[in-house]
Amino acid sequence: MTDLDEIFQRASTAFETSSSSTELDGHHRRFLGKKGEVQLLTRRLGEIPPDERPAFGRRVNEIKQELQAASEARRAELEAVELERRLAADAIDVTLPGRGRRRGGLHPSTRVLREMYRIFGDMGFQVYRTRDVVTDEENFEWLNMPPEHPARDMQDTFYTEDERVVLRTHTSAGQVQAMREYHPEPIRVILPGMCYRNEQITARSEIQFHQIEGLAVGRGITFADLKGTLSEFARRLFGRERKTRFRASYFPFTEPSAEMDVSCMLCDGAGCRMCKQTGWLEILGCGMVHPVVLRYGGYDPDDYSGFAWGMGPERVVILRYGIEDIRAFWSNDLRFLQQF
């Protein structure tokens, strides 16, 4: 009993004089832990005469309860002191200006796409969404590329296990779908979306990229309408001072076909590294909708005509900002993306 009272006095003094929560934890383990002094003393119960054991056991429980209460009371005092100390050290100067939240931004491709939507929207075109996964018919046959047609080799296609189903290689795959939905009404739509081609990833090519297709079908539409629409689009996108030119080209789903260039915005047509000293930058391919495609869409080419074009927003961003590596668009490098 004398040893027990002596342990109680030492423990009480240690708890009262603890200067921190860490020091208090150490004293708590020393006296009240599983291997603490009080617990070790109870293991000597066999040395006590039988008639004195009940009194010893009661005293042990009393001491445990009193020391536990003393430990908790001291802990509350220390935590209050430590909280005051932290508050004093971390005081906020309310007169300082607040820190603004970092704002996110739109991907450069998304920014250009939305700019294109706005320009074509002003011209009366509406956005028409189509699927990324299409049939071989939609991607090729309905666009005047039947099986074994050599034009199919112009695009390296991703095929599924069912060879009749592919990842679209161009948004032109939605042309006939749009025509069948709007027939026999006139059409003026743009078809944006992601395209996929099985190409080697380099600084100039990627396996996925955005494309925006345009389609206009009606009576009396001519190549002059195509030139006027796309020239006005280029001036609104790149500046009123931009010049445009059309060069003959070939696409199986348009006839005649052309590629459109704009005067280089870096050298203003004088010739530089970006335009390869030509003064011109290619931005899109276009042409009058082929009669075969019109028939697949339900329009009689003797009564209706139309024009179509396709372009990539990533190419516009590359030309506008002089980006040399197309892989930057999909690398998720914040150093690149935050510039926009």
Does residue 94 lie in a domain region? no
Q: Are residues 158 and 37 in the same domain?
A: no
Checking if the pLDDT of 33 tops 90, the result is: no
Q: Are residues 161 and 77 in the same domain?
A: no
Once rounded to an integer, what is the mean pLDDT over residues 122-135?
Answer: 94
Once rounded to an integer, what is the mean pLDDT over residues 92-102?
Answer: 81
How sure is the predictor about 230, in pLDDT bands with cuts at 50, 70 and 90? Answer: very high
Does residue 207 lie in a domain region? yes
Which has more pLDDT, 45 or 122? 122
Q: Are residues 62 and 206 in the same domain?
A: no
pLDDT score, position 23: 87
pLDDT score, position 254: 95
Domain boundary among the residues 89, 119, 135 is at 89
Q: Are residues 46 and 138 in the same domain?
A: no
77-105 in b/e form (b: 16+ CB < 10 A) is: ebeeeeeeeeeeeeeeeeeeeeeeeeeee
Q: Are residues 128 and 234 in the same domain?
A: yes
pLDDT score, position 311: 93
Does residue 99 lie in a domain region? no
Checking if the pLDDT of 299 tops 90, the result is: yes
Domain containing residue 254: CATH number:
3.30.930.10
Q: Are residues 21 and 79 in the same domain?
A: yes
pLDDT score, position 88: 79
How sure is the predictor about 31, in pLDDT bands with cuts at 50, 70 and 90? Answer: confident
Does residue 100 lie in a domain region? no
Judged on CB neighbours under 10 Å (0-12, 13-18, 19+), 330 is: middle
Does residue 101 lie in a domain region? no
The residue segments making up the domain with residue 315 are 108-337
Once rounded to an integer, what is the mean pLDDT over residues 285-314?
Answer: 95
**Distance of alpha carbon 196 from alpha carbon 160, whole angstroms:** 13
Once rounded to an integer, what is the mean pLDDT over residues 10-21?
Answer: 85
Judged on CB neighbours under 10 Å (0-12, 13-18, 19+), 320 is: middle
User: ∠ CA 35-39-41 to the nearest 5 degrees?
Assistant: 115
pLDDT score, position 284: 93
Checking if the pLDDT of 297 tops 90, the result is: yes
Checking if the pLDDT of 90 tops 90, the result is: no
pLDDT score, position 63: 79
Checking if the pLDDT of 308 tops 90, the result is: yes
Checking if the pLDDT of 126 tops 80, the result is: yes
Domain boundary among the residues 60, 89, 118 is at 89
pLDDT score, position 316: 86
How sure is the predictor about 19, in pLDDT bands with cuts at 50, 70 and 90? Answer: confident
Q: Are residues 212 and 298 in the same domain?
A: yes
Own/partner pairs, 180-183, CB within 8 angstroms, 24+ separation? 180/297, 180/298, 182/217, 183/297, 183/298, 183/299
- Choose among 148, 196, 190, 207: nearest CA to 168: 196
Does residue 98 lie in a domain region? no
Residue 282 tokens, joined: 């290619």
Q: Select the highest-mean-pLDDT range: 26-35, 170-179, 260-269.
A: 170-179
Residue 72 tokens, joined: 């908790």
Does residue 95 lie in a domain region? no
Q: Are residues 78 and 141 in the same domain?
A: no
Q: Are residues 76 and 143 in the same domain?
A: no
Q: Are residues 149 and 298 in the same domain?
A: yes
Once rounded to an integer, what is the mean pLDDT over residues 50-74?
Answer: 82
pLDDT score, position 56: 77
Q: Are residues 34 and 138 in the same domain?
A: no
How sure is the predictor about 100, in pLDDT bands with cuts at 50, 70 and 90? Answer: confident
pLDDT score, position 175: 94
Whole-prediction pTM: 0.67
Does residue 60 lie in a domain region? yes
The average confidence (pLDDT) of the chain is 87
Checking if the pLDDT of 105 tops 90, the result is: no
On whether the CB atoms of residues 198 and 152 are closer than 8 A, the answer is no
Q: Are residues 278 and 150 in the same domain?
A: yes
The tens digit of pLDDT for each residue in 195-224 reads: 999 888 887 788 899 999 999 999 999 999
Domain boundary among the residues 19, 54, 89 is at 89
The tally of domains found in the chain comes to 2
Percentage of residues of the chain with pLDDT beyond 70: 100
